[in-house]
Structure 1
């Protein structure tokens, strides 16, 4: 049985604990850590965990662990992941995994000299319908990909940003592009493959924060697909939507924070009703996409001696997309894949040269 621990016992930690329980006798949650010792103890009691710690260092020194789930505020993700890698303990880190593309590269370098690996929590990749979509697309069932859209239209009022680490470049690394829409457009990228160039805008419309509260991008993919991506925290009717217009069918999903098969639809092109039938003939599941599916895939990879998904190389593609979006929005230029290197101001921080509204707060 694998031995797991959770670092950071805020809200998302409960989803990780639940996913570990769902894995049954494959893994046991044996310890938790939080800088707030009282909160760590309370969470441990609620989850039936024997031991809690006030630092990850103490936990690593005291426990024999296979994996640490990093669930802290974003600015702590990389330091804790590096600490775990140095101890040869695998890491499953919440989004965003890092605050910059440079930090991702630092993790990749540390992983190369460790016996352990880092995987990023992008749980929407692992829902049964998304797995089916990627497989059928790869088999050519849908034909060529032409057009796509990805909307994360959520609402976060002023009270949401009362927590001091929210809405800042130093603590969150960005606004809804980094912390909210990332799940949806990561799923988009996992289906469509390499992106080629991006044209974007970002704005601070209503919230008194350092970062954007809305961004929009037009993206061209290597296979020629063109897509729009919208990330918003200003949308009272909240929704998460993806649409893929293939040669033989349109595939769509609309949900909020997690989908079942029932949230997906396939509309065939005239004369291609066989495509919709193929989709419907696949086994269906009423289970909601979420952490349990990724934890199961993570454990499968460890059992098979493989790097757990989503690898740092996969993660880098998504994080490079974010860096390019900010670079395009803040410079008013088209940014191509591979353009954000160590010499770019957007490599070390997503803020880059500074947001246009930086001096107007």
Structure 2
């Protein structure tokens, strides 16, 4: 979309037509299309029959199994990537070079090196694309929809204003359950194709929201284990975190927990803020408990969350479209998306090296910069097995539960 036509619908292409596209992205795009904000003009998938059926059902005029051909033929304004993480770098760079914005499903990329290559393509880096106009884009952004519900907006504003006093202690919990059948899907549980275990693929949403609320982190000390599932990556991880503001936190990610819950708790000087849900929250899922002596009028204002907008793909897409139209950098693009991937990378490095890792420490030359397993014995896939790992093709669809 050109900044010279700020009221035109974003001509949008969906790449990957599996469960996450059908369950989350397509409904959000249809809602915004009804509001005149988007227009779905193309769909791409390596399975020609699948993409044809998807396009027919959704009334999409162009269907292809060739991403590059679609970018040339259609020239979309926005490309929505609903594909496995192993192909996100190549697909994002291709879309950016074609002049499109990108909204990419999590996990964003399998490594910081991949993420940085995408950001370099935004700026006319090693791909030879002309430099764009600052934050106006095109740029790539990540699906981190939990930042965009009304509850998170309300609490984030109060934290930034200092209404609760200093944040002191926080807890972040993603304790879910996945059985053997879940990991029977060939690309799951493997570094090259899923990008990591629950720290990367499941808990990333809660982790991203914690970092968004708490601000910059400074140090992480992690542990990881493979307790139940026959996978390359972990099935449980824990971390201790220190933030730049001095606060400390714990982070737990698990796929071994029959009583499933997603939870964030932040204890501040004047209040405790709690969020308890599973795969998405509403205003009612937040609770604010004041410290003794806090003025009742202040507490009433804290507890007034306003109109309820659930965390969802729709909430984030609406914000993304508004940012693109205004020529603004979206919150989950560039540095705003990288910090979460850097934190998860640091958690893995700390867990596998049994040492604390500081923010900014992992860069080119560090083995964890190019692979989350970092080549660690007992965690990196054996060389003989790597050639047997099924690699998703460009345009493959992400067959994933709607909620994950």
1:12 paired residue number: 20
Give 1:309 deviation, angstroms. Answer: 2.9
Q: Which residue of 213, 226, 246 corresponds with 2:235?
A: 213
Query: Cα distance 1:231–1:4, how it changes in 2: closer, same or farther (>3 A)?
Result: same
Count of equivalent residues = 360
Give 1:80 deviation, angstroms. Answer: 0.3
Give 1:355 deviation, angstroms. Answer: 5.2
Unaligned runs of 5+ in 1: none
Partner-residue secondary structure (3-state), 1:239:
strand
Query: Cα distance 1:328–1:275, how it changes in 2: closer, same or farther (>3 A)?
Result: farther
Give 1:178 deviation, angstroms. Answer: 0.8
Structure 1 Cα separation of the partners of residues 297 and 201 of structure 2: 39
The Cα RMSD (Å) is 1.5
Matches within 5 A, 1:1-361: 1-14=9-22, 15-23=24-32, 24-113=35-124, 114=129, 115=132, 116-272=138-294, 273-285=296-308, 287-354=309-376, 356=378
Give 1:275 deviation, angstroms. Answer: 3.9
Structure 1 Cα separation of the partners of residues 368 and 270 of structure 2: 39
TM-score for both structures, normalised by structure 2: 0.87
Structure 1 Cα separation of the partners of residues 78 and 377 of structure 2: 37
Structure 2 Cα separation of the partners of residues 161 and 281 of structure 1: 42
Residue by residue over 1:87-133, the C-alpha shift from the partner in whole angstroms, topping out at 9 and shown as x without a partner, is 11110000011100111111111110154110111000000000111
2:6 paired residue number: none
Give 1:358 deviation, angstroms. Answer: 5.4
Give 1:22 deviation, angstroms. Answer: 1.8
Unaligned runs of 5+ in 2: 1-8, 133-137, 386-404
Residue by residue over 1:255-296, the C-alpha shift from the partner in whole angstroms, topping out at 9 and shown as x without a partner, is 1110000111000000114443112234131x4210001101
Runs of 4 or more off by more than 3 Å in structure 1? Answer: 355-361
8 Å Cα contact 1:153/1:232 also seen in 2: yes
Residue by residue over 1:154-188, the C-alpha shift from the partner in whole angstroms, topping out at 9 and shown as x without a partner, is 11111111221111011122101111100001000
Give 1:58 deviation, angstroms. Answer: 1.4
Query: Cα distance 1:359–1:183, how it changes in 2: closer, same or farther (>3 A)?
Result: closer
Give 1:229 deviation, angstroms. Answer: 0.3
8 Å Cα contact 2:13/2:79 also seen in 1: yes
TM-score for both structures, normalised by structure 1: 0.97
2:395 paired residue number: none
Query: Cα distance 1:131–1:355, how it changes in 2: closer, same or farther (>3 A)?
Result: farther
Give 1:359 deviation, angstroms. Answer: 8.1
